[in-house]
Amino acid sequence: MSKMKKILILLFCLTAIFPLSGSGEAPCSYGFGGHGILVCSSGSNYYAKNSSTGEIISSGTNITTVVESVYSVLPRTGKSEIFFKGNFNVPTTISSNMSNLTLDFSEASFILNDNVNKDILSFIESSNVKIIGGFIDGNKDNQGGASSSGIRFYNNNPKQTKNIYIGGVNLTNISRYGIYIENFTVVTIKDTSLNSIGTAGNEGRGVYLKNGSGATIENIVGKNFRRYGILLNTVENGAIRDANISLARGDRGIYVFNSKNITISDCTSYENNLAGITFSDTYNSSVINCQSYNNTNDGLLIQGDANGDTNLTKNITVIGGWYHNNHRDGIRIQALLTGNVNDVKITGAYVTGNRDVGINLNSIDNTSINNIYISNNIIKHNNNSSGRGVRLYLSNNTYMNNNFFEDNNIDILYFNDFSVPIKN
C-alpha cells in the first residue's frame, strides 16, 4: 500500500471517530490531561468526555441530552466536576437532581432556543452545588410570553437545598426569574450580573430567595427588571453587600419581606419604580452605608404590612448612607393594615433633596409607630413639593437629637395624637 493511501485511510478513521469542526480541529481537542468531565461544542455537535483519558462519554446535537447523560453516569457519592467550553443552544431545560457537583461555565455561553418557554438550568433536591462563571441568555423576546428562569433550585419542603454557590455568572434576557432558590440552607451568590429580567405577564425578579436561612448576596450588578432586582421572602440570617440595582420598572430595587436578621450594606439602588430599598414585616435587621436615589417613591421604606401579626416590623437600624432626590420620601417609616412598626434607629444618614419629606413617619389604618430614634443626621434641601425635613404623624415616643437641618420648607412637621419628646 502506498504511503499516500495509508495517510488517507488514517485521516478517514480519525474523522469517523472525531468529526472535524469548522476550524479543522477534532472536537474537544483542548482539555486533555485535565480532570473531571469536559463538555464542549464543535459546530452543531456537542461532546462530553473524560478530561484525563479523552474517552467520549456522550455526544449529539442536543446539549440537554448530552449533559443529562453525563449526570446519569456520575457517582452518587463523592464530588464531581464538569467543565463547559463553547457555545450551547438549549432546546429544553437541563435538569439535575445531583449533589456534590461543580459546574464550571467560565468558558461557556448558553442561549435558550426560540419558543422553549422553560427554565434553562434546573436543580431539584440538590445540595453542595457550585456554578462558576458563564453567560446565560434566556432569549425572552422569542419565548411567546411564557415564563422561564435562568437558574432554579427547588425541592419539596421540608427537604432542603443546602450549600449552593453561584459566582461570576452573567444572566440576561430572562422571562421570569434570573436566579430562583427556595427551601434552602446556606446560599451564596456573588460577582454576578443580571440584565433585562421579566416580560409582560411574568414576575421579572433578578434574584429571588424564598423560605430559607443563611443567604449571602454580594457584588451583584443588576438593571432592567420588570418587578424586583433582589427579593428575599421569608429568609433569616442573610446579608446583601455591595449590590448595585437599578431600573426595577414595576416595583422595588431591593425588597426584604417577612424576614429576620438581614443586613443590607454598601448597596446602591436607584431609578426604581417604587422604593430603592424596602423592609416589610421584617425585624432585627439593618441598612448600613447604602445609597438610594432617584426612585419614584422612597429611598428607603420600612413598613409594617402584616396579616395577623401586628408587631412584626421592629428592631430596625439605619446607619449612614445617602438618600437623595427620591420622588416621595428619603426614608419612610409606614404602618398600615394591621402592621405596627416598633423600635427603629436612624443615625448618621445624609437625607437631601427629596420631593416630599426627608424622614417621614406615617401611620394609617389604625396602626401605630413606636419608639423611633432619629439622631446625628443631615437633613437638608428637601424643598420640592411639600418639602419637609421630618414629618411625624401618629407616632409614639419619637426621640430626635443632634440632627442638622438646612433649606427645608419646614424642618419638622408635627402631626401627632401622642406625646412625643423631641430634643434637637
Q: What is the per-residue pLDDT across 126-140, written as a single tens digit (0 to 9) for each?
A: 999 999 999 999 999
The domain made up of 33-251 has a fold known as Pectate Lyase C-like (2.160.20)
According to DSSP, the residues that pair with 223 across neighbouring strands are 195, 246
* In the chain, % of residues over pLDDT 90: 71
Cell of 334: 409606614
pTM of the predicted protein model? 0.91
Which of the pair, 186 or 419, is modelled with greater confidence?
Answer: 186
Over residues 225-254, the mean pLDDT reads 96
Give the start-to-end residue ranges of the domains of the chain. 33-251, 253-424
Query: What is the SS3 string spanning the chain?
Result: CCHHHHHHHHHHHHHHHCCCCCCCCCCCCCCCCCCCEEEEEECCEEEEEECCCCCEEEEECCHHHHHHHHHHHCCCCCCEEEEEEEEEEECCCEEECCCCEEEEEEEEEEEECCCCCCCCEEEECCCCEEEECCEEECCHHHCCCCCCEEEEEECCCCCCEEEEEEECCEEEEECCEEEEEEEEEEEEEEEEEEEEECCCCCCCEEEEEEEEEEEEEEEEEEEEECCEEEEEEEEEEEEEECCEEEEECCCCCEEEECCEEEEEECCEEECCCCCCEEEECCEEEEEECCEEECCCCCCEEEEECCCCCCCCEEEEEEECCEEECCCCEEEEEEEECCECEEEEEEECCEEECCCCEEEEEEECCCCCEEEEEEECCEEECCCCCCCEEEEEECEEEEEEECCEEECCCEEEEEECCCCCCCCC
Which of the pair, 18 or 114, is modelled with greater confidence?
Answer: 114
- In this prediction, residue 364 has a pLDDT band, given cuts at 50, 70 and 90, of confident
**Would 33-251 and 253-424 be classified into the same CATH topology?**
yes
Over residues 243-255, the mean pLDDT reads 95
Nearest-10 Cα torsion for 56, 61, 62, 65: -30
CA-wise closest residue to 316 among 335, 298, 303: 303
Q: Which pLDDT belongs to residue 419?
A: 42
Lowest mean pLDDT among 91-100, 145-154, 301-310: 301-310
Q: Are 263 and 236 in contact (CB under 8 A)?
A: no
Query: Is the pLDDT score of 5 beyond 50?
Result: no
Angle at 244 between CA 240 and CA 250, to 5 degrees: 95
Q: Are 372 and 403 in contact (CB under 8 A)?
A: no
Q: What is the per-residue pLDDT across 44-74, written as a single tens digit (0 to 9) for each?
A: 999 999 888 888 999 999 999 999 999 998 8
CATH node for 253-424: 2.160.20.10
